[in-house]
Amino acid sequence: MSQQHNPILVLRLRGPLQSWGISSQFNRRTTENVPSKSGIIGLLAAAEGRQRTASIDDLLELKIGVRIDAPGTQLRDYHTVANFDGSNLLISDVNAQGHQKRGDSKKQTLVTKRYYLQDAEFIVAIQGNEQLMEKLAYAVEHPRFPLALGRRSCIPTGRLLECNENGQKLWRGMSLREALSAVNWRKKPGVSEPYRLPVILDESSDSIKDGMLDSITDVPVSFDPHKRGFTSRTVRHIWVTPPGLSPEAEKNRMMSDPFSLLGAE
Partner 1 sequence: MSYLSKVFINPRRKAGLRYISNPQATHAAIMQAFPPETEIGRPLWRLEKEGTRAHLLVLSNLRPDWSHITEEAGWGDAEGAQAKIASYQPLIDLISRGREFHFKTTVNPVHSTTSPQGKYAKEAATKTALNTPEGKRPRGTVVPHKTVAHQTKWFQDRVERWGFELSPLNSNTSSPAGKAFTLTNRNVLKFKHTKGSQITLNTATFEGLIRISDPEVALNSLLNGVGQGKAYGCGLITLTEPQ
* Closest separation in Å from C-beta 241 to partner 1: 16
Phi-psi region of 167 (alpha: psi -120 to 50; beta: other; left: phi over 0): left
Sequence-distant contacts of 134-143: CB under 8 A, at least 24 apart: 134/7, 134/170, 135/48, 136/9, 136/44, 136/47, 136/48, 137/9, 137/161, 137/169, 137/170, 139/44, 139/47, 139/48, 139/49, 140/9, 140/11, 140/44, 140/47, 141/169, 142/47, 143/46, 143/47, 143/49
**Considering only residues 231-260, where is the footprint of partner 1 by CB under 8 A?**
252-254, 256-260
Nearer to partner 1, 1 or 261 (CB): 261
Nearer to partner 1, 111 or 261 (CB): 261
* Closest separation in Å from C-beta 253 to partner 1: 8
Nearer to partner 1, 26 or 259 (CB): 259
Nearer to partner 1, 25 or 256 (CB): 256
Nearer to partner 1, 130 or 193 (CB): 193
262 binds partner 1 (CB under 8 A): yes
Q: 92: exposed, middle or buried (C-beta count within 10 Å: 0-12, 13-18, 19+)? A: exposed
| Site mask for partner 1 (CB under 8 A), range 114-133, x = bound | --------------------
* Closest separation in Å from C-beta 196 to partner 1: 12
Task: Say if residues 75 and 117 touch (Cβ distance below 8 Å).
Answer: yes
* Closest separation in Å from C-beta 105 to partner 1: 46
Number of residues that bind partner 1 (CB under 8 A): 12
Nearer to partner 1, 1 or 264 (CB): 264
Angle between helices 37-48 and 130-141 (to 10 degrees): 80
**Binding positions for partner 1, rule: CB under 8 A:** 252-254, 256-263, 265
